[in-house]
Amino acid sequence: MNTEQAETVFVIFGSTGDLAKRKLFPSIYNLYRKGNLTDKFAVLGLGRRNWDNETLRDVVKESIVTEHGQDAASEAESFLNHFSYMPFDVTNRESYQQLGDQLAILDETFQIPGNRIFYMAMAPEFFGLIAQSINNEGLKETKGWSRLVIEKPFGTDLKSAIQLNEEIRKAFSEDEIYRIDHYLGKEMVQNIQVIRFANGIFGPLWNNRNIANIQVTSSEQLGVEGRGSYYEKSGALRDMVQNHMLQMVSLLAMDVPLQLSTDDIRSEKIKVLRALRPVMGETISKNVVRAQYSEGTMNGERVKGYLQEENVSETSHTETYVAARLMIDNHVWAGVPFYIRTGKRMAVKSTKIVVEFKELPLNLYRKEEKQTGPNLLIIHIQPDEGITIVLNGKRIGSADTTPVHLEYRHDSEDRVNTPEAYERLLFDCMMGDATNFAHWDEVSLSWSLVDAISNAWEKSDKVLASYEAGSMGPKEADQLLEADGNSWWPVENM
């Protein structure tokens, strides 16, 4: 590790919010206790609340205790001394001037060589203003580097994303901008490339000659949980498909990069997104399903439907579930459907990828009394982490065949020591590694696809599908695959 890279000031806009408390503070602490942060660092929290240093430190301590238990409180005292707080008005020029003075003090106090990470953990409508104010007030004029970390959503459609990008690019270059997608920090999402490019058994098979279809599922048991006002503006399409789901598709479909560098990996992902077949007009209903959860039973208890949730309109057409058939028009994937589905209030919490391989053209064992199934590669992303390979084998003591599951799962010790997604991504940002952050071209291409779907839905008079809370989605999503002679693999039983 380059220790000079790790010597930095984290400037967190929105440090009084939930994201900072649940994710950022524990992640920075984990980096510190593992030695990935030296004592030459500082965290400066900014927010509208009239807090002081001690108030922020109490909140940080609480978040550490929640994560690691009461014993961590005494161990964290030296860590907490690196935290300070400033009440801040993002619209006030004087606030930025005071910020500059405080950053100079922190650099001197903790011997930091002018390295700065500006983290936007607040309302996205202020991102452009903050970025330009940082630049205009000279907060980037140091001997070190400056990086801007932006949370999703990056815009609400392609038009707003372009406008936001133009505003930010006036102050920061593309290589200084880190658009965070926490899915790209997950252990098994990052493992996709290793599985594909470090194993000779998969390389020759990873194409349309051998793969029948790929299914990506991200299901949640939770509902909107008091976030109705946000979700009404977002919906599952913008909240999950535009970023998380399409990022996983691009990792699964990308060609082998020249080398494992940020630019080469991003280049191959961008090629995939450019090759996605447009979904628009009449093709929408044949390729995309949107639905909304109704009342149902979760863990033995009745739960309300989306229309009964707080801050949700009784006539809302916001989708809480999306399933889609995506086609990639290039020589590697032509003809192979990529099925994606994501939704709230579903039967299980699960993020899984199922790669279904084509069966042998002449399978001697595929007879009615000796049925065999396709070989599968299952990548378990959450809550379990690992991979499963499903083969056909002989049943012991019989001539019949049976599916054989070859499993690799991270054991409990591995999981305890596995960096949380935000921890890993913060470390990558310190090291200047943008591989697992979204490039602007990825963002714009994914918004192009999502906008076409959204626009078609707005013009459509088709009734929104419904699914019962506690189910795995609407029947229309099953029919989407049945039209191709396929079906969803049951992620809850894998």
- Give the catalytic positions in this structure: 244
How far is it between the farthest Cα atoms of the chain?
A: 81
Could you tell me if 452 and 280 are in contact, meaning their C-beta atoms sit under 8 angstroms apart? yes
Q: In a 3-state reduction of DSSP, which class is residue 292?
A: strand
Q: Which residues contact 346 (CB under 8 A, 6 or more apart)?
A: 219, 220, 221, 321, 470, 471, 472, 473
Q: In a 3-state reduction of DSSP, which class is residue 239?
A: helix
Q: In a 3-state reduction of DSSP, which class is residue 268?
A: helix
Could you tell me if 345 and 220 are in contact, meaning their C-beta atoms sit under 8 angstroms apart? yes
Q: Which residues contact 206 (CB under 8 A, 6 or more apart)?
A: 196, 332
CA distance 380 to 378: 6
Q: Which residues contact 315 (CB under 8 A, 6 or more apart)?
A: 307
Cα torsion for 141, 146, 149, 150, to the nearest 10°? 30
Q: Which residues contact 278 (CB under 8 A, 6 or more apart)?
A: 449, 452
Supply the DSSP symbol for 242: I
